[in-house]
A and B are shown apart, each in its own frame.
Chain A
Amino acid sequence: EVQLVESGGGLVKPGGSLRLSCAASGFTFSSFSLNWVRQAPGKGLEWVSSISTSGNYIYYADSLKGRCTISRDNARNSLYLEMNSLRAEDTAVYYCARERYGDLDYWGQGTLVTVSS
């Protein structure tokens, strides 16, 4: 069974930093690109970042470019998102999602990031 489990969310002050993790199981982790997607409270889905199988291709949404870094450890079946200079508008549930052919076929349950003083 494919499982994606996010962790690392929490309350952080504006300007602070946070590192999110996503632990994967039930599939060949190194064979799939992975994405982070976020959802602000009561709002829709917003794509955040994508990383290819080997990490050679990395993309970011303009809203977070320069403030976050996506990475993966294929030996540990883990995906990461480091975020800094956090703002109130970054408050959201952050999901990791497995990418198939561009569609996102499996999602984790999400981890909540709250940016507030």
Chain B
Amino acid sequence: EIVMTQSPATLSVSPGEGATLSCRASQSISSNLAWYQQKPGQAPRLLIYSASTRATGIPARFSGSGSGTEFTLTISSLQSEDFAVYYCQQYNNRPPWTFGQGTKVEIK
């Protein structure tokens, strides 16, 4: 089973600032990685797939990069609606599909 490790667990950011979230896979997953955003009481929403492709309707301030074992989600200028928990998920070696433990982006 591939283990996904996200860092940091919590990121405190001021509105308008940028944020960089990291995700590491325990073995190479090529570019088969997705990022999801989850707000309290809501279902997760797909942000990025194939490590760097924005899903439909996702603003350009969200960008993904990386391949192999190291991945990054960058939010260029945080808006109020971006404060949420973000999860990475690998789908290179499945089953099982595996998620990281999440990074909470909170208002500083």
B15-72 contacts to A (CB < 8 Å): 32, 34, 36, 38, 42-46, 49-50, 55
The tally of residues in B whose CB lies under 8 Å from a CB in A reads: 25
Judge whether B101 is part of the interface by a CB distance below 8 angstroms: yes
Q: Which of A72-80, A82-90, A98-106 contacts B (4 or more CB under 8 A)?
A: A98-106
Main secondary structure of the interface of B (DSSP, over half): loop
Contacts of A47 in B (CB 8 A): 95-99
Which of chain A's residues has its CB closest to B1's CB?
A: A62
Which of chain A's residues has its CB closest to B100's CB?
A: A44
Contacts of B91 in A (CB 8 A): 101-103
Pair A45/B96 contact, Cβ less than 8 Å: no
Pair A59/B96 contact, Cβ less than 8 Å: yes
Cβ-neighbour of B49 out of A35, A105, A108 (below 8 A):
A105
Cross-chain pairs A/B with CB under 8 angstroms, 13 sampled: A44-B99, A44-B102, A45-B36, A45-B87, A47-B95, A47-B96, A59-B95, A102-B94, A103-B89, A104-B89, A107-B43, A109-B42, A110-B43
Cβ-closest 9 pairs across A and B: A102-B91, A59-B95, A103-B34, A107-B43, A103-B49, A47-B97, A45-B99, A44-B102, A44-B101
A-B contacts counted at CB < 8 A amount to 66
Which of chain A's residues has its CB closest to B56's CB?
A: A105
Pair A103/B46 contact, Cβ less than 8 Å: yes
Judge whether A11 is part of the interface by a CB distance below 8 angstroms: no
Pair B44/A102 contact, Cβ less than 8 Å: no
Pair A61/B95 contact, Cβ less than 8 Å: yes
Which of chain B's residues has its CB closest to A59's CB?
A: B95
Judge whether A95 is part of the interface by a CB distance below 8 angstroms: yes
Judge whether A21 is part of the interface by a CB distance below 8 angstroms: no
Contacts of A107 in B (CB 8 A): 43-45
